[in-house]
A = this chain, B = another copy of it.
C-alpha cells in the first residue's frame, strides 16, 4: 500500500530519561546535599537511627500494564516501600529509583510513572535523591528508601510476647478484591467495586499511624501486611519465637469486599488471609493497651480503625479458629518462586 507511515512516537535516550527524572525530582535541598546527577547522592542526616528498605517490582510478576496506569504504578511502587518504613515507625526521607525500561521508552510513559512515584513520595515527606536507568526486556522498578527514626526506637518483628493482642489497622482483603475485580474485566468505576479498586491501585501506607504507634512505646512487635496476614503473622511469630491464634470472625472485612466476593464466586476470608498488598499495620501489644492504641491510630489517621484479630501464644504455628474448625494457616501466602499457575 502506498502512503506515509505514521511518524514514530517520541522516545527517550538514556540521558533524556535521567534529565526527565532529575527535573521531576526537583532540586536537592535541606539535608540532601547532592541529588540526582553525580556518581552518588550525599545526605547529611542528624538522626540517631536510619531505617532502610528496598523492593523490586517486575512487570508481568508484580503488575500488569493493562490493569494500572503508569501514574498509579509509580505511586504503588512508592506505597509498598513507604509501608515498610511505616512498620518501623520511621519518617520517610530519601528514595533511590532503579528503572528498567524496554528499548525506545515513550516519553509520556516515563514521565507519568516517575511523576506518580515522586508525587506520592512527596506527600509523605520523601524526596527522590538518586537512581539508575537501564534497558531491560520489561519494566523494572526498584526503590530503596531511607527513613529517619529519632528519637523513636524502631519497632521490630521480634518483640512479641505470649499473651499479646494481635491487631491490624484498617480493613483486610480489599486490595485482593480490587485486583480480582480488575482481572475479571470489571469496570474500575463501578460503584460496588470503587473502594476495593481504590485500595488496590492507590494504597495508603500507614506512615503517620506507624510513627504514632512507635512513639507510644507500647507496641511490642510490628510489621506491615504485604504478603497476607497468614504469611506475615507467621513471620512475626517466628521472629518472636511464638505462635498465634486468630479468630476468623474478628478479621476486619468490610461489606463491599464480601459482596464483591459473592459476585465473583471468591472466598473473602481467603483474600483477607492470603491476598496480600493491603499495606496495613500488623502489631502486638498488651491487651490492656488496646484501647489507648486504637485512639492513637484514629488520631494519627482520622477514620482509621483498629481490630484485634487474635493473640500470641507459646505454642508455635499460626492457627485460624472458625467456629468449631481450627486450621493451620502459617506460611500459606505468596511464594514468589513457585512455578507460574
Contacts and interface: CB of A to CB of B under 8 A. Distances in A.
Nearest to A16: B337
Interface string A323-341: 0000000010001111110
A130 B52 contact: yes
A38 interface: yes
B44 A134 contact: no
Given A137-B137, A157-B39, A338-B103, A49 B44 contact: yes
Residue among A133, A144, A224 facing the most chain B CB atoms (10 A cut-off): A144
A96 interface: yes
Contacts of A44: 48-50
A168 to B, nearest CB: 15
Contacts of A49: 33, 42-44
A interface bracket (residues with beta carbon within 8 Å of B): 35 or more
Interface in A124-142: 129-138, 140, 142
Residue among A33, A104, A133 facing the most chain B CB atoms (10 A cut-off): A33
A187 interface: no
A230 interface: no
A147 B40 contact: yes
A149 B101 CA distance: 32
Contacts of A87: 39-40
A67 interface: no
18 contacts: A11-B337, A39-B84, A39-B223, A39-B224, A40-B52, A42-B50, A42-B51, A43-B51, A44-B49, A45-B45, A54-B98, A56-B99, A56-B100, A57-B134, A58-B137, A58-B140, A100-B140, A144-B144
Contacts of A15: 331, 335
A15 to B, nearest CB: 7
A156 interface: yes
Contact of A13 (B101, B132, B337): B337
Residue among A38, A50, A133 facing the most chain B CB atoms (10 A cut-off): A38
A61 B136 contact: yes
A18 to B, nearest CB: 10
Copy total for this chain: 2
A154 interface: yes
Interface string A95-117: 01111110111000000000000
A166 interface: no
Residue among A33, A54, A84 facing the most chain B CB atoms (10 A cut-off): A54
Nearest to A50: B43
A34 interface: yes
Given A135-B61, A154-B34, A335-B14, A340 B103 contact: yes
A135 B39 contact: no
Contacts of A57: 134
Given A14-B336, A54-B142, A337-B101, A40 B134 contact: no
